[in-house]
Amino acid sequence: MCFDRGFSATFDFIEAIENTTDTSSTSSTDPINILLVSPGDIRHIVYTIARRRRHPLGNRPIHFYILDHPIEILARNLLMLEAILDFEVPIRQRANVFLEIYGNARVQERTARYIEQLGQSLRSLVADGTGTLGLVSLEHLKYRERDVLESVFKSYMRQDDFDMTTLRDHRLRGMSDCPTVT
């Protein structure tokens, strides 16, 4: 199956597995392994998990393997997953924060503080292997990739002033100088 980064509708993997394979021959305790190559975001994962109880295979464990490049996209996916799974925050606020992280380059001040807090807990996930309710495993990452991932989470600290409006303006001005292909 092929998905365009962010342009395809959400997809329920369990439904696709049930429609394409004979599930009666597999054990009910065998995990479902799903490899996602360059998904760009976690919307398919969230959708599949949210709908898993609707399927006969829903009681089986699901293992998602994500292969994405650059590593910053994986960091963003882990940040969004951490925001979804923060059960200390009310569900409406979690949904708002998730959507703000998912769709905006500029976030509110309170969301920036929350992202900084999540970045610190995700750094402990990379360094110590603790966090995200034990649902995420980074054992398949190389040490170099873990170091890059930790530096990305470190960049979530608000100590660095990042002027998104000016950077976007410079980017658009640079794009307007490029010749167009007709």
For 110-126, what is each residue's pLDDT tens digit?
Answer: 998 999 999 998 998 88
Which residue shows structure tokens 């394979």? 21
What is the residue-averaged pLDDT of the chain? 83
pLDDT level of residue 131 (50, 70, 90 thresholds)? low
Whether the predicted pLDDT of 130 surpasses 80:
no
Residue 179: asked if its preceding bond is cis (omega within 30°), the reply is no
Whether the predicted pLDDT of 92 surpasses 90:
yes
Whether the predicted pLDDT of 9 surpasses 90:
no
**DSSP-derived 3-state class of residue 75:** helix
In whole angstroms, give the CA distance from residue 153 to residue 32: 30
* 124-162 burial: b if 16+ Cβ within 10 Å, else e: ebbeeeebbeeebeeeeeeeeeeebbbebbeebeeeeee
Burial class (CB in 10 A: 0-12, 13-18, 19+), 118: buried
Q: What is the pLDDT of residue 4?
A: 52
**DSSP-derived 3-state class of residue 36:** strand
For 43-82, what is each residue's pLDDT tens digit?
Answer: 899 999 999 888 888 788 899 999 888 899 999 999 999 9
